Amino acid sequence: MIVSKNLENLENSAVKLTVTVSKDAVNKEYSDLLGKYSKSAHIKGFRKGKAPASVLEQKFGDSIKGEATMNLMENSLKEAYEDVEKKPLPYATPVLQEDDKEVLIELDNDFTFAVVYDTMPEVKVGEYKGIEIESPVCKIMKKDVDRELETLREQNAVVVEKTEGKAAKGDIVNIDYCELDADGNEIEDTKREDFVFTIGTGYNMFKLDDNVKGMETGKTKKVKKEWAEDDEDKSLAGQKKTIKVKLNSIKVKDLPELDDELAQDISDEYKTLKDLKASIKKRLTESADNIIKERNKQNIIDAIIEKSEIDVPASMIQSEMDSSWNSFVSQSRMPEETVLEIIAAQGKTKDDMLEEWKPSAEKNVKSFLITDKLIAEEKIEVSDEEVDAELKKQAETAGMSYEDAKNYFEQNGMLLYLKNDISNRKLFDFLLKSAEIKEGEKKDYLDLTQNKE
């Protein structure tokens, strides 16, 4: 079928594949289609399937040529891809050259067309051993442990009714509220009953925290609110409203004492408060170490990317951005239409967000390609014993038996992902061992976890 094919390299790991199909294949495809439709065509003045080929050609010739053109393109590309040096990426649809989009075959002539598609890029990895990086230092302080203890007290607090006094910061209040029109009448569709929030959090539409503070249970007040033209809430920016607020109830958290009893209530593994503090410090230390290790790994791969040459195809970046978008929608636990409405209220579109994510997406693709290349170059392999050990570890963490965990991974086709994860970890352990790591600046735990400079 194919007389010749030519592959031309373009920018960003794209190629142009030009294919020439023999005139014999052109004539055969056209004749086969003509014969097929001659048997079933309904043409006025002729019985079904009895119309001469010349009449069929006169009425439907261009349509048949169009179908023959598409068939020849599809079949010849399948043949060309079998032995072409650079094959298309699975998510990169070959695109016809602009000049070929309206082309039709001509009988008794070879047929030539060209498509452009993305291919797996060539990765020229720069120096990756002995990378110099600075590693932050984080020591867990008493204030870090105390902060965790306060969180545990909050989690174990009992909420009780506040029978005396006025609403104050930190109190949990239940309110009714609604907007009032210019005449002081309630606007029906703005009414909200039994709305609960904690004073000081700002978790209410009109930010009524300071207005409710100082009120007594059962009391009602009118509040005048005004928002600046550049307020971050665009639905309220530049507006003035009068809001009627009724305080239904006030509740407070009764915090437990910080003692051995609290430690025992949190877990049977703790006998004393000292045990609990030691456990918290150990957990925070492990957390800080893991964050620092991940940051060091990222700094190493960033340094390798800087030293490497990778011509990333556009379709790979687009695929990464699409994946990020799908994760973003999934994590929101809302329909995509709702997510689009929310970002539209912020003056953005999906395309705006994808464009913001583009540099990160390109970096992620480069990181993946370099990691894959280095695993091959360093001949990093994962044994069945290592996979089993990881399965046992994950089973223990999830509270499952080894057999159930293995069945789950096998049935969901996740063993390959598990194996890849282990090989990635082995690679980065190797890179970290070979790196020259210098002690960097001292970091507060909270700043470290919040990624603050």
Domain boundaries, the chain: 2-120, 158-254, 269-449
The closest alpha carbon to 74, from 119, 115, 132, belongs to: 115
- Is residue 49 pLDDT above 70, yes or no? no
Share of the chain above pLDDT 90, in %: 80
**To which residue do tokens 């070929």 refer?**
100
Q: At which residue do the structure tokens 């452009």 appear?
A: 116
Mean local confidence (pLDDT), 324-338: 94
pLDDT tens profile 67-112: 999 999 999 999 999 988 899 998 888 998 877 667 889 999 999 9
- 5-30 pLDDT, tens digit each: 999 999 989 999 999 999 999 999 99
Asked if 97 and 116 touch (Cβ cutoff 8 Å), the reply is yes
Contact between 12 and 311 (Cβ < 8 Å): yes
Its CATH class, for the domain covering 2-120, is alpha beta
Mean pLDDT throughout 189-214?
Answer: 93
* CATH level 3 topology of 269-449: Trigger factor, domain 2 (1.10.3120)
pLDDT of residue 237: 87
Average pLDDT of the segment spanning 131-153: 95
The pLDDT tens digits for 240-256 are: 999 999 999 999 989 99
Domain 158-254 fold: Chitinase A; domain 3 (3.10.50)
pTM for this prediction: 0.72
Residues 400-446: pLDDT tens digits? 999 999 999 999 989 999 999 999 999 999 999 999 999 999 999 99
pLDDT at 83: 87
Residue 444: closest CA among 274, 273, 293, 291:
291
- Separation between Cα atoms, residue 395 and residue 398, nearest integer Å: 5
Q: Are the CB atoms for 121 and 13 separated by under 8 Å?
A: yes
Question: What pLDDT does residue 231 have?
Answer: 85
Q: Is the pLDDT of residue 52 over 70?
A: no
CA distances from 70 to 2, 96, 100, 176 (A): 15, 11, 11, 67
What are the helix (H) ranges across 308-444?
314-332, 336-345, 350-377, 384-398, 402-411, 415-434
Mean per-residue pLDDT over the chain, rounded:
91
CB 265 within 8 A of CB 156: yes
